[in-house]
Structure 1
Amino acid sequence: MDQLAAMRVFARVVETGNFTKAANALNIPKTTVTNMVQGLEAHLRTTLLNRTTRRVMVTTDGALYYERATQILAEIDELDGSVSSANVQPSGRLRVEMAGMFADKIIIPNLCDFYQRFPQIRLDIGVGDRLVDYIAENVDCALRVGTLRDQSLIARKVSELDFLTVASPDYIERFGMPKTPEDLEVDHHCVGYLNANAGQVMSMAFDDGTRSVEISPRYIVSANDARTYQHAVVAGMGVGQLVPFSIRDEIREGKLVRVLPEWKSEPMPIYIVYPQTRHVTNKVRVFVDWVAKLLNRSALGTL
């Protein structure tokens, strides 16, 4: 039995919660996962996992073994990385998650540069603002905006994002131009942004240099995806707050106009996040560094 390989398989079963997900994450047959865990249990002469038809439960011995095994595996990976030649190119599959606006407007247009630098990395991009099970879905890292509430993730701040308050000319023709942020709670409609973590529509913040205002937007439609949110604003469903790099064309073509231009919104942090249990490999490091340079304030820009 390859004990090191068996430890990795056992750890992935614990992290994903069942043998099938672990097999999919490791890209090996389920029977191989089962046999390696059984071999490890026979070697240790103890039961690490209790199996039922629906789920896997970690025993007391299994929990203790998992804690030490993950530490050992992380140290081995770190050791391997520290003695690898600096000339060895990072390689392999890299699974990342991000909002569609980042993929469309920032990442994809610059990917040729990334592949010229790191031609042996195969990048799988998952697009959306949904909640992600990093371990079960084998996600290496994600690009996220706003306050992070998941304490199981390690986060590196890479930039900040400004927002502009805008609406379509058709909306302004129908409802008029808001004069104060408070108008958005009384006489106007907004497009609500539904926070997937909190399960509620986010508030809208404004500051004119003399006072700060936070309002609960009055809305008739909300969306939990940035691209859908933007489409709804362009369609005239209400006032919205959008990032400059995603609406340059819409502003230039007259599909959107500025609203309350003297009021600014609080910049929101942009993070690269990854799970604490996942060792940060060289391919993750080079991608994070590349994104950090790409997402500087001048690149994200203002209109």
Structure 2
Amino acid sequence: MDRLDAMRLFKRIVELASFTAAADDLNLPRATVTHTIKRLEARLGTQLLQRTTRRVRTSRDGEAYYRHCVRLLADVDAVEADFRQAAVQPRGRLRVDLPTQLARLWVIPALPAFFARYPLLELDIGTGDHFVDLLREGVDCVLRVGNLSDSGLVGRRVGALEQATVASADYVRRHGMPRNLADLQDGHYAVNWASPTTHRVEPLEFMVGRKLREVSLPGRITVSGVEAYRGCCEAGLGIAQFPRYHLTDALASGQLRDILPSTPPPSLPITVLYPPHRQMPARLRVFVDWLVEVMGKQL
């Protein structure tokens, strides 16, 4: 019998003033009750109960211990009740980190419906594309785009983003529109993207049938931020690759031009990451399920 169970047994003996009545009430053998109280008194180093032939009374130490038991067991019961209730109606605060554009365009507009469904939840949202150490920074989950290294986190795929290769209209006027990958490597430039995590400059990627082709182009500028990457492309500094949802308005207006659409970049996976849990908190589970639902409607 663990300490909490022993405390519950002691409390019931005091309330019923009887070992036998407490044993019957808790459906325990009388010998178990007697042995548990002896071990409890030995561990505490004091006599808690004074036994007579007619009733059981607390000693002075037993009375003080009883008051502590009442308070502590009430706190434990309240905590457990809160968690049981949270499993039915999740509550509490979640810290999440989202890519800026996905948050602004897709996730945040859907939040009113989320809060209507889960009125006892609160969100603390960070946005960006930088590396987040979930355990060290106390973040519950992150949504990330792209292929991920093994981080020891649990990953759940929520979709994939179609990509496009683009350049500004001004760039195309100056350098021409490439007709194939061979043309691309003859006199063209890239806005080079350096991974914020590895700092390695990434090549442009193209799917030729089912095969992935990588092309490294010279570039006058290297960036590691999404807004700077797009800004450099729009300024005519080179060719770049983006998720297509970033580009709808710019492509429609002609500000950006679609390059080699017959050999597009591979799609980018979208993954929600969270630390491993033996028992996943209900508030995190419902938020992850909701993210999967929201992204599924967009992709």
Tell me by how many angstroms 1:240 deviates: 1.2
In the alignment, is residue 95 of structure 1 matched against residue 80 of structure 2? Answer: no
Structure 2 unmatched runs, 5+? 4-79
Alignment check: 8 A CA contact 1:182 1:215 kept: no
Matched with 1:135 is 135
Matched with 1:293 is 293
Tell me by how many angstroms 1:140 deviates: 0.5
| 1:175 partner letter | H
Matched with 2:167 is 167
In the alignment, is residue 201 of structure 1 matched against residue 201 of structure 2? Answer: yes
Q: How many matched pairs? A: 222
Alignment check: 8 A CA contact 1:93 1:121 kept: yes
Q: 1:94 to 1:217 in 2, by over 3 A?
A: farther
Matched with 1:238 is 238
Structure 1 unmatched runs, 5+? 4-79
- TM-score under structure 2 normalisation? 0.67
Q: 1:210 to 1:268 in 2, by over 3 A?
A: closer
2: CA distance between counterparts of 1:221 and 1:135? 35
Alignment check: 8 A CA contact 1:140 1:278 kept: no
How do residues 186-265 of structure 1 correspond to structure 2 at under 5 angstroms? Answer: 186-209=186-209, 212-265=212-265
Alignment check: 8 A CA contact 2:194 2:201 kept: yes
| 1:84 partner letter | R
Tell me by how many angstroms 1:218 deviates: 2.5
2: CA distance between counterparts of 1:201 and 1:232? 16
How do residues 23-102 of structure 1 correspond to structure 2 at under 5 angstroms? Answer: 84-85=84-85, 88-102=88-102
Q: Secondary structure at the match of 2:266?
A: coil
- TM-score under structure 1 normalisation? 0.66
Q: Secondary structure at the match of 2:137?
A: coil
2: CA distance between counterparts of 1:89 and 1:216? 52
How do residues 13-28 of structure 1 correspond to structure 2 at under 5 angstroms? Answer: none
| 2:135 partner letter | I
1: CA distance between counterparts of 2:186 and 2:279? 50
2: CA distance between counterparts of 1:209 and 1:200? 27
RMSD between aligned alpha carbons? 2.7
Matched with 2:118 is 118
Q: 1:225 to 1:118 in 2, by over 3 A?
A: farther
Alignment check: 8 A CA contact 1:101 1:226 kept: no
Q: 1:212 to 1:138 in 2, by over 3 A?
A: closer
CA-to-aligned-CA distance 1:167-188 (integer Å, 9 cap, x gap): 1101111211122234444411
Alignment check: 8 A CA contact 2:145 2:271 kept: yes
2: CA distance between counterparts of 1:164 and 1:146? 14
Tell me by how many angstroms 1:211 deviates: 5.5
Tell me by how many angstroms 1:284 deviates: 1.2
Alignment check: 8 A CA contact 2:86 2:282 kept: no
Alignment check: 8 A CA contact 2:193 2:201 kept: yes
CA-to-aligned-CA distance 1:183-209 (integer Å, 9 cap, x gap): 444411112222122221222221232
Matched with 1:151 is 151
Tell me by how many angstroms 1:114 deviates: 1.6
2: CA distance between counterparts of 1:97 and 1:87? 23
Greater C-alpha radius of gyration: 2
Alignment check: 8 A CA contact 2:87 2:282 kept: no
CA-to-aligned-CA distance 1:145-188 (integer Å, 9 cap, x gap): 22221332111111111101111101111211122234444411
Q: 1:217 to 1:103 in 2, by over 3 A?
A: farther
